């Protein structure tokens, strides 16, 4: 039985020992809360004294939980000049595809912490290009063009125009959910 989790990851659950639909199905899942061997959690019920309430050894219910990991991280491209920013926006217009620009600073701990998580999201959206700008390494004109006042700021651009942004000053998982929601709404 498969369930959908609140994020784009799927939660796979199986009971007892049914055969998986494909031999590599469970190999693509990573275990949650189980050891390296992927042991599941055994639940025993009806351990009373009567015959009806007893379950023999091996007759328990076995439930294993896995997260289906669908995305591989994609390295974000750096924008370090006005020309590269113009090139990224031109690509967006020519290909009618959105881009995400992460405005960050090397001294910003939250920015550094969010970078690999954004790269993971980049793997979830193959049609969207992800870029980052280190505001300390670019001319001030580039920062002004993005209208950046706080960091990290993650912006959604489409057809060469700014459409939406997420300012990432709170918990990382909330920021990532907001970025996913921003992409879904504006894509």
33 falls in which pLDDT band (50, 70, 90)? very low
Find the helix packing angle between 109-124 and 172-186, rounded to 10°. 40
pLDDT digits (tens, 9 = 90+) for 63-114: 454 444 556 889 999 999 999 999 999 999 999 999 999 999 999 999 999 9
Question: Which of 74, 171, 172 has its CA nearest to residue 131?
Answer: 74
160-178 average pLDDT score: 94
108 is a catalytic site residue: yes
- Whether omega before 118 lies within 30 degrees of 0, making that bond cis, reads no
Determine if residue 79 is left, alpha or beta; phi over 0 gives left, psi from -120 to 50 gives alpha, anything else beta: beta
Residue of 85, 88, 99, 108 with catalytic role: 108
Catalytic residue among 111, 121, 179, 183: 111
The token duo for 8 is 């784009």
DSSP 127: T
Let me know if 29 is a catalytic residue.
Answer: no
Point out the least confidently predicted range of 6-10, 27-31, 180-184: 27-31
For residue range 113-166, list pLDDT tens digits in order. Answer: 999 999 999 999 999 999 999 999 999 999 999 999 999 999 999 999 999 999
> Taking the model in full, what pTM does it have?
0.64
- Is the pLDDT at 19 greater than 80? The verdict is no
């Amino acid at each position: 039985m498969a369930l959908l989790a609140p994020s784009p990851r799927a939660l796979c659950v199986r009971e007892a020992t049914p055969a998986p639909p494909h031999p590599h199905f469970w190999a693509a899942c990573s275990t949650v809360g189980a050891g390296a061997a992927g042991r599941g959690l055994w639940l025993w019920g009806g351990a009373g004294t009567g015959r009806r309430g007893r379950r023999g050894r091996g007759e328990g219910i076995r439930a294993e939980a896995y997260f289906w990991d669908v995305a591989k991280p994609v390295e974000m491209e750096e924008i370090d000049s006005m020309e590269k920013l113009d090139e990224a926006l031109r690509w967006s217009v020519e290909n009618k595809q959105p881009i995400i620009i992460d405005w960050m600073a090397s001294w910003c701990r939250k920015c550094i912490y969010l970078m690999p998580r954004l790269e993971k999201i980049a793997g979830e959206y193959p049609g969207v290009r992800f870029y980052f700008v280190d505001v300390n390494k670019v001319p001030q004109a580039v920062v002004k063009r993005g209208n950046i006042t706080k960091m990290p700021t993650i912006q959604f651009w489409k057809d060469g125009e700014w459409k939406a942004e997420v300012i990432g000053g709170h918990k990382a998982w909330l920021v990532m959910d907001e970025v996913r929601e921003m992409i879904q709404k504006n894509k």
